[in-house]
Amino acid sequence: MDMINMNIIESAMIAIAKEMGINVQKTAYSTIFSEAEDFTCALANRAGELIAVADFCPSQIGGVPLLVRSMLKEIPLSEIDEGDVIVHNDPYRGGLHTPEHTVFKPIFIDGEIAAFSVCVGHFVEVGGMAPGGFPGEATEIFHEGLRVPPVKIIKKGVDVPEVWKMMLANVRTPRGNYGDMRALISGVDLGEKRLQELVKKYGKDKFNTIVKDLLDYSERRMRAEISEFPDGVYRFIDRVEDDGIEDKEYEVHVAVHVQGDEVVIDYTGSSRQAKGPINATLGVAWSAAFNAMLHLTDQSIPKNSGCFRPIRVIAPAGTVMNVNYPGSEVGGNTETHPLIVAAIFGAMVECVPDRVMASEGTTHGCFVFGGHDDYTDEPFGGFDFSYVGYGGRAFADGNDATDSINGNCANTPMEVFETRFPWIVEEYALRPNSGGAGKFRGGLSNVKQMLCTGGMLVSQMTNKHKLGAWGLVGGEEGKTGATLFKKSGSDSWETAVEAYGKVSPSKYSNIPMQPGDRVRVSAPGGGGYGQASEREKSDVLMDVKEGYISKADAIKSYPVNGSDL
């Protein structure tokens, strides 16, 4: 193996993926791209293996290999021409959830496909029963938005107007979707151009050899990491509190079999698939397993299909971990994915206690809204993130107000948010006392209170309003989240169940909000790690001094008394 040129080609490919991402981010219309970076740019080889990816949105990274292979099943290599661009979002064809659109472009070298340039991005508006793509009460895929199987949106460099028209006619914000699609396409165009330059420099054969070696190298690194784990079977069960349709819990079972240099992650025993949209697709079940393993191992391992080879996933069909057609699934990618990762950490605390954390809030809040904006005289759709508390660790407190583990999305600044949408933000703050007590406490989550200034429909897909983030090694549970409404003229804050008769307080569709109504979205805090009694007293006092916990909570949870504070 040429370990010198491997380094050079790997970092050159990552730089290409980064550059693709910059193009996407700078030209996109939705704030979920341009501010939140909910997209991924990657390169794949002709077999569909991921060969390089830049750090944008993690939930999409593990999904890329399945996406490319599913696309190739329907459009074989022989039918792809230079200059084609293929778009796809179907969760039942390797996709992660309906809002996530993948755009592929073949990279030709000497008249032959050598690789693919790939951009995956989350479109806010995708049609379906509720504006904003997260109908918490969807019961089939058709409610969730327009399904797009792999189709060519550009043929040999020329737009295919039929496809563009069909897609834009089925969403509420065609102008924005058009801009976002152009942004993704500008990303894959750039990837094509840059990779061609790179391959030309080294020659196709040398490039292919080095890429093959690179995947083997990543595999070797991953195997070396796994073989340091003590062999055994490590189990954990976590629960999704409800599915938006029925008020009952769903179990996520995880058994991590560590044997030698391989790992099998088995979800057998998980609940049958839900009626509501909390189900994971197969792509999500894989992606979550990979995400957890990348957290447990050395983060300098190059991220490509090679490092996934020693990891097998068993996801029984017809369960919440691998939904059967035509079940609904939009929250599988946002809510169930981080819950699976947390459960794998929960299982692995016995195996590698220093490398895991207690449960984080495992949700992105996914508060969505849309309608017609009188201010701009245009239809609008928006997605708002919440930031959860992270779990305590064997060596440090959980981080405060951070995007859940399968995303890495930035907030939309309040000043941008209020410019774009008919909302006034009244409070954007940390939630003191929301982190679970422990030797290392859970992180605090955030709260956002908003006043509606224009009529709209709101929907939400979140979790942990009933079941808090669990602690580990004696650490306590983090505070649950809550979404509360206060109708114009009313004095009381009520849940969606109380105010609008919904089944679930955390998953619902199409609540009509009027000017003067308010909503207060609180995210769940993180779980603690270790016994609260072992926390350094000075840390407790500092938390009180800085207002991260109240005096009352400190006295209740930790061995301190009023005279200490």
Q: Among all chains, which residue has been given the structure tokens 């990303």?
A: 187
- Min dist CB 272 to another protein, Å, is 32
**Per-residue exposure over 532-561, b if at least 16 CB sit within 10 Å of its own CB, e if not:** beebeeeebeebbeeebbeeebbbebbebe
Whose CA is closest to 180, among 23, 407, 58, 53?
Answer: 23
H/E stretch holding 362: none
Note the maximum CA span of the chain.
79
CB of 396 to another protein, least distance (A): 6
Shortest distance (Å) from residue 366 CB to another protein = 14
* Helices 337-348 + 282-296 axis angle, to 10: 40
Helix, strand and coil in the chain, % to nearest 5: 35, 25, 40
Ranges of H-type helices in 326-411: 330-331, 337-348
Nearer Cβ to another protein (92/290): 290
Encoded tokens for 272: 């049958």
Tokens of 557: 């949870």
Q: Dihedral (C-alpha) 124, 128, 131, 134: value to the nearest 10 degrees?
A: -60
Neighbours of 279 (CB within 10 A): 32
Question: Are the C-beta atoms of 109 and 293 separated by less than 8 Å?
Answer: no
Counting DSSP H helices and E strands in the chain, the numbers are: 15, 19
Interstrand relation of 311-314 and 262-266 (parallel, antiparallel or unpaired)? parallel
- CB nearer to another protein: give 162 or 427: 427
* Cα 241 to Cα 256: distance, rounded to the nearest angstrom: 23
State in angstroms the smallest separation of the CB of 58 from another protein. 4
Residue in 324, 327, 336, 325 with CA at minimum distance from that of residue 249:
336
For residue 152, the SS3 value is: strand
Omega prior to 326 cis, within 30 of 0: yes
Helix axes 174-202, 204-227, angle to 10 degrees: 100
Question: Of the two residues 38 and 238, which places its CB atom closer to another protein in the complex?
Answer: 38
Q: Which residues contact 193 (CB under 8 A, 6 or more apart)?
A: none
Decide: 528 and 437 in contact? Cβ < 8 Å.
yes
Find the helix or strand (DSSP H, E) in which 507 lies. Answer: strand 507-513
Contact 357, 169 (CB under 8 A): no
Of 14 and 321, nearer to another protein (C-beta) is: 14
Query: For residues 15 and 75, which CB has a smaller minimum distance to another protein in the complex?
Result: 15
> In the bound complex, what is the minimum distance in angstroms from residue 213's beta carbon to another protein?
10
Paired with 85 in beta bridges are: 154
How far is residue 103's CA from residue 191's CA, in Å, rounded to a whole number?
12
Residues 6+ apart with CB under 8 A from 334: 59, 97, 134, 363, 364, 366, 404, 406, 407, 461
**379 φ, ψ to 5°?**
-70, 150
What type of residue is 231? D
Judged by CB, which is closer to another protein: 399, or 506? 399
